[in-house]
């Protein structure tokens, strides 16, 4: 699941060469696909974009979202 950025042109941010699907996000976060769908319904999960009928995720945005999650009371990090 390595990504490389592609320049989007002057004045625009770079875009990853490959967006992740929900299975990639599931593997990266170590949670079931169903959990990611539940988070999406509750507007709690990593940011996604809809391309037609498909959900796609920017790998950097997923990693940023994961690192911003608060710790659990028992000391574990939320995915």
pLDDT at site 75: 54
DSSP symbols for 3-22:
--EE---TTS--EESS-B-H
pLDDT at site 6: 47
Say how many C-beta atoms besides its own lie within 10 A of residue 25's C-beta. Answer: 25
27-40: per-residue pLDDT in tens? 999 999 999 999 99
Domains parsed from the chain with CATH numbers:
17-67 (1.10.10.10)
Handedness of CA 72, 48, 10, 18 (dihedral sign): positive
Using a 10 angstrom Cβ sphere, with 0-12 exposed, 13-18 middle and 19 or more buried, the burial of residue 24 is middle
Which of these, 44, 38, 42, 46, lies nearest to 67 by C-alpha position?
46
Please state, in angstroms and rounded to a whole number, the distance separating the CA atoms of residues 1 and 78: 21
pLDDT at site 1: 55
Global confidence as pTM: 0.70
Q: Which residues of the chain have pLDDT under 70?
A: 1-16, 72-79
């Amino acid at each position: 699941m390595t990504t490389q950025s592609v320049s989007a042109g002057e004045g625009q941010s770079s875009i990853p060469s490959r967006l992740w699907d929900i299975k990639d996000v599931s593997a990266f976060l170590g949670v079931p696909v169903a959990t990611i769908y539940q988070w999406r319904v509750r507007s709690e999960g990593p940011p996604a974009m809809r391309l037609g009928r498909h959900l796609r995720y920017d790998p950097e945005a997923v990693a940023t979202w994961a690192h911003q999650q608060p710790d659990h009371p028992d000391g574990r990090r939320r995915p």
